[in-house]
Chains A and B, each alone.
Chain A
Amino acid sequence: AQSVAQPEDQVNVAEGNPLTVKCTYSVSGNPYLFWYVQYPNRGLQFLLKYITGDNLVKGSYGFEAEFNKSQTSFHLKKPSALVSDSALYFCAVRATTSGTYKYIFGTGTRLKVLA
């Protein structure tokens, strides 16, 4: 069965410091991996994805994530956090095996960037 774990309910980081939001997954076969961000009273917004190729993927707003197959992880990173990055972040996975189209989302990590 597919699953996603976001082990931290909340991550606090000072503005200007690097940030990491963790995600591990379990899926049969190769995964498609995604990060989404949710701001208050707004829908989820796509940040970045890993489908195939380079393990380091870059996305919107200066975010990047590294796919690590051996550790089944897809951590979200940013070199220098902004207060405006404060939001709820969701990791999601989709199996590439045939027969399913569904995406599994983690429970979310609230990022708080302190000025």
Chain B
Amino acid sequence: DTTVKQNPRYKLARVGKPVNLICSQTMNHDTMYWYQKKPNQAPKLLLFYYDKILNREADTFEKFQSSRPNNSFCSLYIGSAGLEYSAMYLCASSSWGGSYEQYFGPGTRLTVL
């Protein structure tokens, strides 16, 4: 099974409320990524986990948190959602030292009201 699953597929949130998005894969990939994609813009890397090590992009460092309780799961957490967080959030996974392949999930569309 080479699929990456994301839950939920659609999420409505109120301004100021927390948001938690979930991603899972069963390919035993050691690296998992979260991207933010807004309409007519390229996906933007937010952070990635290599094994248990979290790497967050400098310009989004304080806006997003993540946890990876085991190899298969990775979450993206927004402590206090703002209108600017409305976007599609894509999760991907890959294997260190393997091919160039990053497997992408279907995305979670977050709308903040």
Q: Tell me if chain B binds chain A.
A: no
Q: Which residues of A contact B (CB under 8 A)?
A: none
Q: Which residues of B contact A (CB under 8 A)?
A: none
